[in-house]
Amino acid sequence: MSAARHEAAIPPRIRERIRRLREQINHHNYLYYVLDAPEIPDAEYDRLMRELQDLEQRYPGSITPDSPTQRVGAAPLEKFGEVRHEVPMLSLNNAFSETEVLDFDRRVRERLGVEEVEYHAEPKLDGLAVSLLYEQGILARGATRGDGWRGEDVTANVRTIKAIPLRLMGSGHPELLEVRGEVFITHEGFARLNENQEREGLKPFANPRNAAAGSLRQLDPSVTAQRPLTIFCYGIGLVRGGTLPSTHSGIMEQLRGWGLRISPLSRVVQGAAGCLEYYREMAGRRDRLEYEIDGVVYKVNDIAAQERLGELSRAPRWAVAHKFPAREEMTRLLDVEWQVGRTGALTPVARLEPVTVGGVVVSNATLHNQDEIGRKDIRIGDTVIVRRAGDVIPEVVSVVKSRRPADARRPRLPDRCPVCGSEVILPSGEKIARCSGGLYCPAQRREAIRHFASRRAMDIEGLGDKLVAQLDERGLIRDLSDLYALRLEDLEKLERMGRKSARNLLDALERSKQTTMARFLYALGIRHVGEATARALADHFGSLEEIMAAPVERLQEVPDIGAVVAESIYLFFREKHNRQVVERLLAAGIQWPSTPRKSGGELPLAGESFVLTGTLGSMTRDEAKGALQALGAKVTGSVSGRTSYLVAGANPGSKYDKARQLGIPILDETAFLKLIGGKQQAKR
């Protein structure tokens, strides 16, 4: 059948779909490769390309020389000199499932006529592919991959990357050696780069891949030199006047010997089973790596076998990229809702059309704050890109503005708290809006009680999240002080709360009344006041009444307390309802040993350093730590020459042995209790 008849046999609907797919793919190629400004995630691009490949396979008459399937990538920018790759820098076919990997291995084995194939496996980096040409062992040219046939001359920029040797080490280099690698930026380098961008008032980069591409393609090499670029080499291209090992792994080791950077995670594996085992290992390590990878690459290890297998128009038959599940996907933003946290902070949450990202169905994602919504120009009704990395909460990365509907509307910060109806305020100089309802706001109340009862605060055993929710729903607690008014008969009626559990909770509440001022201050949940700040306040003032009455200036006299923290403490105690809650808590019986202020002299154990080990019979480790800190002592986790005393309870560990070796005084429980008891009497 003639080509014309093939063409005529294509249904108009299919012909139009093919035309549209080519137009979309060319558009996204331009955005990704030329402008470094991708609009859609890789997973969406892969779907478009695979749909076009499938249609062209079903209708061969539709294939044209300018189809995206017949070339590797997009045209380079004109601002750099052009480089023609004598050996094309082909892209790789992708496998998205174990079945596709097994199919790849089967095809390789059938073509080679063998039962098992040895592969070289390595992580697939998410960076920018480059070609490094060495003449007589000296770096002569650096080029980008471009469209695979023509790239951009970035020699001056490549020479600034310290991981790329200007002269190869050792001997035996071919007269002409073209090395291929991936230029990338680590997570740490990316964070530093964006900090610098923001410090200089410049737009931060969206991701490490864009940062690497933008850095390597600077017209001014001095700018590139300031960017934290590095490289892993993964293969070779043109070779003249020399010989190389007969396996891909051997070539990689030879490159390593010549001073080129090779992935330390690459290895030789046997057959498809070895490939899949490697994939699962890398998937498990992905979130712990210091750089981005989006899959792994398998290459037939034997070079002669590679040559026998050959290549297709755009990809070799002897290699495949096994992609991880996409971390970015597209979906529609249905609405924006506002959640209220323990401190009253209002956080916008995106309600999404459910989409699978990284193997998990995502229907909600964080939008961080109102400023972030404005910066990304996010509107309800938009098509958005959602990213999920490891256990991190999914986030909306960007908007696909080309798909914005006419009725898309901007999310609006509410004037009133969506939970309690109190006024929403946006403190001067801050990005986060807050509910002014304080402990009256149900959302803040639950979070405040959870924090109040936590181990580092009042340590109320048995008061977990579900019980707090029940107490709130039944109206048994309106603020923190109501915890100490709970009755046995009320608790027994709660779900999964029998008489014994109810009695245990009441006992825990009673025990919690004996605390320290520092713990109590921390338990109140004052914004910016952590354990260390609470302890500093208690040590400095020695009296809760003085802290509550202190103006901002006096609060700033406390070491490490600046203007922001001081104002937060001052405003907390200026709120009438907060003072009322504190008074009711004290009236319920919460108390602590008195602590004199430092202005009257140093605390009894000031300057002393203690280490705790083993189990104490009379108190918990945290209680012992609190007692020491109340007396001015420093409590550390390890024994050293600077340790003043080791407190050893039952079954002490290796710290006991180390203290004996160093000659550190060791106190048993009786001596420890006598020490802190005597010091507490002395300070009174």
- Note the pLDDT of residue 422: 81
Q: Please, is 480 exposed, middle or buried when counting C-beta atoms within 10 Å of its C-beta (0-12, 13-18, 19+)?
A: buried
What b-and-e string marks burial along 257-293, b requiring 16 or more CB atoms within 10 Å of the CB? ebebbbbebbebbeebebbbebbeebbeebeeeebbb
- Note the pLDDT of residue 439: 64
Cα distances from 454 to residues 67, 448, 460, 519, in angstroms, run 62, 10, 7, 10
- Note the pLDDT of residue 622: 79
Question: 91: which 2 tokens?
Answer: 């892209």
Helix (H) or strand (E) holding 362: strand 360-366
Coil, strand or helix at 668:
coil
Q: What is the C-alpha separation between 458 and 599, in angstroms, rounded?
A: 28
Q: Are 128 and 184 in contact (CB under 8 A)?
A: yes
**Model confidence, pTM:** 0.56
Q: What is the C-alpha separation between 516 and 676, in angstroms, rounded?
A: 14
Catalytic residue among 124, 299, 679, 683: 124
Helix (H) or strand (E) holding 255: helix 248-257
CA-based diameter of the chain, in Å? 107
Question: 253: which 2 tokens?
Answer: 């080791």
Q: Which domains does the chain have, with CATH numbers?
A: 3-70 (1.10.287.610), 84-323 (3.30.470.30), 325-436 (2.40.50.140), 438-512 (1.10.150.20), 517-587 (1.10.150.20), 602-683 (3.40.50.10190)
Q: Are 596 and 683 in contact (CB under 8 A)?
A: yes
Q: Please, is 562 exposed, middle or buried when counting C-beta atoms within 10 Å of its C-beta (0-12, 13-18, 19+)?
A: exposed
- Note the pLDDT of residue 310: 93
Rg (CA), the chain: 33
Locate the DSSP E strands across 582-631.
609-613
Instruction: Dump pLDDT digits (tens) for 571-606.
Output: 888 877 788 889 999 999 999 887 554 444 467 887
Q: What residues of the chain score a pLDDT lower than 70? A: 1-8, 33-36, 71-78, 389-392, 428, 439, 595-602, 678-684
Instruction: Dump pLDDT digits (tens) for 244-271.
Output: 999 999 999 999 999 999 999 999 999 9
Q: Is 124 a catalytic residue?
A: yes
- Note the pLDDT of residue 262: 93
Q: What is the C-alpha separation between 66 and 20, in angstroms, rounded?
A: 14
- Which residues lie across from 612 on neighbouring strands? 647
